[in-house]
Amino acid sequence: MARLSRARLQEQNRAKVLAAAEEEFAERGFRDAKIDSIAERAGLTRGAVYSNFPGKRALYFSVLAALADRAPAPPRAEPGRTARAALGAFARAWLAPLPLAAEERHGPARLGLDLIPTIVADDRVQPPFAQLMKVEAILLGLALERLRPAAGRQVRLAESVLTTLHGASRLAAAAPGFVDPFNVVSACEHAAGLDLADAWPPPHLPYAPRARPDDAPWSPPPAVDALRGEPVDLAGDGVVAVLGLHRLEAVEEAVRAARPADQVTAVLVTGDPDELGPLARLTVTELSRRLRQAFPESAWPRLRLVHDERGTVAAAAGVPAAGDGTESAVRVAAGRVIARAEGRGACHAAASADGGAPDTAAPSHRTGGARPMDGPPRP
């Protein structure tokens, strides 16, 4: 029998560790799980576990991300054609996997219950998680805007709905049997009627840096859109924003300032791909599943999200040392990078940069105008 290559052996050992860790976390929960027990279940040494994962939390996030990746697609439900119906469908998709009674708090249903306590326990994980929550709200808000483009920005509404649903998740863990899913769904549906006086742009945008003209070839590597779960062509005209996990909310500035025909892509990078990378994948995968269940395809945000844990797309965009604080963006046209910007405000700067026919269909935020962010121009 041919000997396994080192890479293939490491791949097999990693799979064994993940499978063993899933059993351990399901049986004991995150707090009581032991690395030695995981190694024993996997038939490996403690050192072999640590050679694949830097610690128990990284392993836990990786188990949850792997579960989300391989979860079967839910039965196709009729998506909501109105904001109220879509928010109800979104809430039902959110609540469906939760253990809502004490007798359900065992086995696989237990796995995700320790996620928030695990994040709360470490100050270093909280800032990127907060930014991932911002991305959740932006994506849900953009989808709502596409259902009713005359309503203006809907991100504050999305934040309120997500606060309700995350609260339901916490209570399902802390007070099994308390959460009534019908009441939570009804509350989310009624939220569609709230007017939270949402507005755009934020005050700092008039002071954002200007993009620098550039003329460089654009040859991005293959990538996958994490929202749609399919390969994505990054070579089209538009904006590519490279964002560290501390700067994710800046992607909204690219979406708002981009022209209607632009492709807008957020490339998510991190300085800790072994721990924070799986957390980002988990968050985006679960959100995209719920969006696809709740909203018709015509309402999905035109924003694409690409996980770039190893920095290959970032390097192609001229950001060779991307980290959690990175905010860099380029405007692409005809296969070339024609403008770039770095630092706070870079997304707005690159999306606003000249480089083609001006957008006459909607006023520019640079001149104080406003338009619905991800849909047709406001009447």
pLDDT band at 294 (very low <50, low <70, confident <90, very high): very high
Q: Where in the chain is the domain with CATH 3.40.30.10?
A: 205-367
Tell whether the torsion through CA atoms of 271, 139, 118 and 17 is positive or negative.
negative
Q: pLDDT category, 356, cuts 50, 70, 90? A: very low
Whether CATH 1.10.10.60 fits 6-70: yes
Longest dimension (CA), the chain: 70
Q: Are 152 and 378 in contact (CB under 8 A)?
A: yes
CA distance 199 to 181: 31
**Residue 365 confidence (pLDDT):** 37
Measured CA to CA, the distance from residue 61 to residue 66 in angstroms comes to 9
Q: Tell me: the pLDDT tens digits for 59-115?
A: 999 999 999 998 877 666 678 889 999 999 999 999 988 776 555 555 556 788 889
Is 319 buried (19+), middle (13-18) or exposed (0-12) by CB count in 10 A? buried
CA dist., res. 146 & res. 376, Å (int)? 8
pLDDT for 378 = 35
Quick check: 373 pLDDT over 50? no
- Do the Cβ atoms of 38 and 21 come closer than 8 Å? yes
Tell me how crowded residue 17 is: count the other CB atoms within 10 A of its CB.
25
Q: Residues with Cβ < 8 Å from 5, sequence gap 6 or more?
A: none
pLDDT tens digits, residue range 247-284? 999 999 999 999 999 999 999 999 999 999 999 999 99
The least confident of 152-161, 169-178, 185-194, 267-276 is 169-178
- The CATH T-level fold of domain 205-367 is Glutaredoxin (3.40.30)
pLDDT at 218: 96
- Strand (E) or helix (H) holding 158: helix 155-174
374, pLDDT greater than 60: no
- What separation, in Å, do the N-terminal and C-terminal C-alpha atoms of the chain show? 70
Average pLDDT value over all residues in the chain: 88
Contact 129, 162 (CB under 8 A): no
The token pair that represents 173 in the structure block = 């863990």
- pLDDT by residue (tens digit) across 299-311? 999 899 999 999 9
* Span 130-143, pLDDT tens digits: 999 999 999 999 99
Q: Which of 285, 282, 314, 273 is nearest to 225 (CA)?
A: 285
The structure's pTM equals 0.88
DSSP state of 173: H
Burial of 193: CB neighbours in 10 Å, binned 0-12, 13-18, 19+: exposed
Helix axes 126-147, 83-95, angle to 10 degrees: 140
Amino acid present at 103 = E
- Which range, 105-114, 183-192, 346-355, is most confident? 183-192
List, by residue range, all CATH 1.10.10.60 domains of the chain. 6-70
